[in-house]
Amino acid sequence: MHWNIPNILTWLRILMIPLFVGVFYCPEGDLPEHMRNLYATLIFALAAATDWLDGYLARALNQTSSFGAFLDPVADKLMVAAALIVLVEFDRVGAVVALIIIGREIAISALREWMAGLGKRQSVAVAFLGKIKTASQMVAILFLLYYQPVGAIDVKSIGSLLMYVAAFLTLLSMAYYLKAAWPQIREK
């Protein structure tokens, strides 16, 4: 493994996961609920920013590596899965929605690895639909972590709506990737 700035940022994102989860389990007397929500939201937002930043820096500094290409999506999926599990635990997201999103991430990751083994990884490269799914999912998670109204904005309702949109787009993008891989699946 190469120790470069992008890989260090990715490792930091992974190390933020226990901190992120731990915030929610601080005793109420030590950290009131609205502060737990705020801190968890800020940690998740920082993790999302490092996700963008490590990719940008890897390209800008010409520090891309096969290890970084492997670790970055793993860090993303771990952070999102941790957030969804916490949101299910605190009854802010339904378990079925969380299972759809986490299950799709695992299935598509496995599909991409299998396709890479066949030398056809490009046929299941990230599509625009996947990017829209990720954006709606990240905003939904941020809103559901914060959970309290911001002025007249009902963060909870908007976050819930966006999470359902993300779940729908999750299924749609999974169908897209499976369709792209179908000729190789049928052949094998």
Tokens 């169908």, located at residue: 175
Residue 153 pairs in a beta bridge with 150
Band the pLDDT of 188: cuts 50, 70, 90: low
- Indicate if 11 and 49 belong to the same structural domain: yes
Whats the size of the chain, residue-wise?
188
Residue 186, pLDDT > 80, answer no
- Indicate if 98 and 129 belong to the same structural domain: yes
- Indicate if 174 and 101 belong to the same structural domain: yes
User: What does the pLDDT average to over 145-163?
Assistant: 95
- Indicate if 104 and 21 belong to the same structural domain: no
- Indicate if 98 and 12 belong to the same structural domain: no
Number of domains in the chain: 2
Domain boundary among 37, 68, 90: 90
Of all residues in the chain, the percent with pLDDT exceeding 90 is 56
Residue 129 near residue 172 (C-beta atoms within 8 A): yes
Tens of pLDDT, residues 69-121: 888 889 999 999 999 999 999 999 999 999 999 999 898 888 888 877 777 66
11 vs 185, residue with greater confidence: 11
Q: What is the CA radius of gyration of the chain?
A: 18
69 vs 175, residue with greater confidence: 175
- Indicate if 172 and 98 belong to the same structural domain: yes
- Indicate if 182 and 116 belong to the same structural domain: yes
Average pLDDT, the chain: 89
Tens of pLDDT, residues 34-62: 999 999 999 999 999 998 898 888 889 88
The CA-to-CA distance between both ends of the chain, in Å, stands at 33
184 vs 4, residue with greater confidence: 4
Q: What global pTM score does this model have?
A: 0.90
Domain that holds residue 121: 94-188
Question: Looking at residue 56, what is its pLDDT?
Answer: 87
Domain boundary among 52, 74, 90: 90
Residue 2, pLDDT > 90, answer no
Return the amino acid letter for 168: F
